[in-house]
Structure 1
Amino acid sequence: MTQLHKTFRAIDGGDGSDGRWSAHIRTLWPAAEGWLTDDGRTPDGAVRARRMFDEHMPELAPLLDRLAGQLNRPNAETLLAMNAIRPFFSGCTQTGGNGRLLRNYDFPLAQCEGTIVRSDFLRPVIGMQEGGWGLLDGMNDAGLAVSLTFGGRMTQGPGFAIVIVLRYLLETCDTVTEAVERLRTIPVMVPQNVTLVDAERATTVYVGPDIELTEAPDACAANHQHLPVSDEDERGSRTQERLAAIRESGADVSAMLRPPLYRPGFDEGWGTVYTADYQPGEGQVTYHWPGQVWEQSFDRFTSGTRSIAFGNQ
Structure 2
Amino acid sequence: MWPVTELWLADEGRTPEGAERARKLFEAHMPELVPLLERLARQLDRPHGEAFLTFAALRPFFSGCTQIGDNGTLLRNYDFDPAECEGTIGSTHFLRPVIGMQEAAWGLLDGMNDAGLAVSLTFGGRFVHGTGFAVPIVLRYLLETCTTVDEAIGTLGSIPIAIPQNVTLVDAEQAVSVFVGPDIEPAKAPDACAANHQHLPVPDEQEQFSRTQERLAAVRAAGTDVAAMLKPPLYQYAYDEGLGTLYTARYRPSEGRVTYYWPGESWEHSFARFTPGSRTVAFGQVA
Per the alignment, residue 168 of structure 2 pairs with 195
Is the 8 Å Cα contact of residues 152 and 223 (structure 1) preserved in structure 2? Answer: yes
Cα displacement (A) at 1:265: 2.9
Per the alignment, residue 204 of structure 2 pairs with 231
1:284 aligns with 2:245: no
Task: Return the alpha-carbon distance in structure 2 between the equivalents of residues 149 and 33 of structure 1.
Answer: 22
Per the alignment, residue 67 of structure 2 pairs with 94
Task: Return the alpha-carbon distance in structure 2 between the equivalents of residues 311 and 110 of structure 1.
Answer: 13
1:77 aligns with 2:62: no
Q: TM-score, normalised by structure 2?
A: 0.97
User: Which runs of 5 or more residues in structure 1 are unaligned?
Assistant: 1-27
Task: Return the alpha-carbon distance in structure 1 between the equivalents of residues 207 and 103 of structure 2.
Answer: 27
Residue-by-residue CA offset, 1:68-118 (whole Å, 9 max, x unaligned): 122222211111101001111110000001111000000111111111000
1:165 aligns with 2:143: no
SS of the counterpart of 1:309?
Answer: coil
Cα displacement (A) at 1:312: 4.4
SS of the counterpart of 2:21?
Answer: helix
Per the alignment, residue 145 of structure 1 pairs with 118
Residue-by-residue CA offset, 1:121-143 (whole Å, 9 max, x unaligned): 11100000011100000000000
One-letter amino acid matched to 1:198: D
Per the alignment, residue 14 of structure 1 pairs with none
1:310 aligns with 2:283: yes
SS of the counterpart of 1:271?
Answer: strand
Match of 2:188 among 193, 200, 215: 215
Is the 8 Å Cα contact of residues 4 and 84 (structure 2) preserved in structure 1? Answer: no
Residue-by-residue CA offset, 1:155-194 (whole Å, 9 max, x unaligned): 0000000000000000000000000000111000000000
Match of 1:176 among 149, 164, 179: 149
Task: Return the alpha-carbon distance in structure 2 between the equivalents of residues 228 and 199 of structure 1.
Answer: 31
Task: Return the alpha-carbon distance in structure 1 between the equivalents of residues 236 and 150 of structure 2.
Answer: 32
How many residue pairs align between the two structures? 286
Task: Return the alpha-carbon distance in structure 1 between the equivalents of residues 65 and 172 of structure 2.
Answer: 23
Give the RMSD, CA atoms, in angstroms.
1.0
Larger relative contact order, structure 1 or 2 (CA cutoff 8 Å, min sep 6): 1
Flag the 1:49–1:267 CA change in 2: closer, same or farther, 3 A: closer
Q: TM-score, normalised by structure 1?
A: 0.89
Task: Return the alpha-carbon distance in structure 2 between the equivalents of residues 168 and 220 of structure 1.
Answer: 22
SS of the counterpart of 1:311?
Answer: coil
- The alignment-based identity, stated in percent, is 69
Residue-by-residue CA offset, 1:190-230 (whole Å, 9 max, x unaligned): 00000000001110000000000000010000000012332
